[in-house]
Structure 1
Amino acid sequence: MKELHAMLFSGIKTLVGGVPVVHGAYKIKDNHVLTANSQSHHYIPATQVPVEMEKLITWYNDNKQILHPIKLSALFHHRFVAIHPFPDGNGRVGRLCMNYILMKKGYPPAIIRKENRWDYYTALEEADNNKPESFVHSSKKEQPWTFATRAS
């Protein structure tokens, strides 16, 4: 994931506001975003990121043979962005990870289309509130194949 971040930001030296980019490095300051409901959503504190990322990898390894690939990839993506380990690019890295998981299992990537962006954000918010089904369904809608048409 650090390598994906580094590749995404190669050639970029600063973020908005002149903040320098350290390619592939976890955040050193706490971060937050405004949700679709204009609420401030705070992510995992920077000091806890390495431990939370290890937990994420353990969760993935424990579930990769159990969960359906679409569900696994969506839940992984949500868990990743809930940690928000980087100062910027977390959604992009999360979507790359989601699609890596899908493609590794023989599925095409799930592309979140621009016209579905707010549905995507709303579904992420619902997953933040312990209702991940909406995000799994949202990810499934962006898949050319469905649970019923693909056996794995």
Structure 2
Amino acid sequence: MPVAWNEDDPRDEAVLVRNLSQVLRELVQGSRLRQVPSVAMAQEWHRKIYEGIRLPVAYYAGEIRDSDPKFPELDGYEVQVGRHLGVPSAQVPSELANYEAALREAVAVLDNEIPIFRYPDDPDQFLSLLTLLAYAHGEWVRIHPFANGNGRTARLWANWCALRYNLPAFVRLKPMLDQYLSPRPRRSAS
């Protein structure tokens, strides 16, 4: 039976926030490159998010649930969020291949409609972009490819899509980065 990973260790919160902040900065910096979306990108984000974090099994960071013998703890690792089951681990690779293909097709269309450095300039473009964000987030959560951290990765996908088309990264990451990144009140000199 695989070793469960259900929650982050609270002692790691500051490192987690720092890592998430760095990944988000990298997404902002790379947003104009219009990189082809790939599952490998998300795996790298996941590795960076969990760098220096206490994990039950080290390779849980960035590796997907499936039947790869190199990662035995992820073979048969099934997930459930509330009453909702994630995709069975044996189906995760094919679901991710479909996800990647759908994202690539969608961004190819939007890239032709929304030039670099331009905002969506009509309601249909904006609706298409919002649909892409919803798909990128929702499908990642449905597939639940990692042992944990799928919600964070799904929010990064949504922000990646927004940034690609000149919108701000408006999907809030958890833990909430703004509580750590906002300026602290200064103490009075008295």
Same fold (TM over 0.5): yes
Q: Distance in 2 between matches of 1:82 and 1:51?
A: 13
Q: Which residue of 2 aligns with 1:79?
A: 139
1:20 to 53, 57, 61: 57
Cross-structure match for 1:95:
155
Q: Deviation at 1:113?
A: 8.2
Structure-1-length-normalised TM-score: 0.63
TM-align CA RMSD: 1.8
1:56 deviates by 0.1
Q: Does 1:69 align with 2:129?
A: yes
Give, in angstroms, the shift of residue 21 of structure 1: 3.8
What is the CA distance between 1:74 and its match in structure 2? 1.4
**Cα displacement string for residues 47-78 of structure 1 (whole angstroms, at most 9, x for unaligned residues):** 11111101001111222225622221111110
1:55 aligned to which of 98, 101, 104 = 98
User: Is contact 2:137–2:155 with CA below 8 Å preserved after alignment?
Assistant: yes
Q: Partner amino acid for 2:150?
A: N
Alignment equivalent of 1:33, drawn from 81, 90, 95: 81
Q: Is the 8 A contact 1:30 1:45 kept in 2?
A: yes
Identical-pair percentage: 29
1:113 and 1:61 map into 2 onto residues whose CA distance is 24
Query: Quick one: structure 1 residues 113 and 10, their matched pair in 2 at CA, closer, same or farther if it must change by over 3 Å?
Result: closer
TM-score normalised by the chain length of structure 2: 0.51
User: Deviation string for 1:28-52 (max 9, x for gaps)?
Assistant: 2011011xxxxx2101011111111
Answer yes or no: is the 8 Å Cα contact 2:155–2:173 preserved in 1.
Answer: no
Q: Is the 8 A contact 1:81 1:91 kept in 2?
A: yes
Question: Partners of 2:137 and 2:86 in 1: how far apart?
Answer: 14
Gaps of 5+ in 2: 1-41, 66-73, 111-126, 175-190
In the superposition, relative to structure 1, how do residues 107 and 33 fare at CA in structure 2: closer, same or farther (>3 Å)? same
Aligned to 1:104: 164
Contact conserved, 2:158 with 2:171, CA < 8 A, in 1?
no
Over alpha carbons, which structure has the higher Rg?
Answer: 2
Gaps of 5+ in 1: 35-39, 115-152
Q: Point out which structure has higher relative CO (alpha carbons under 8 A, 6+ apart).
A: 2
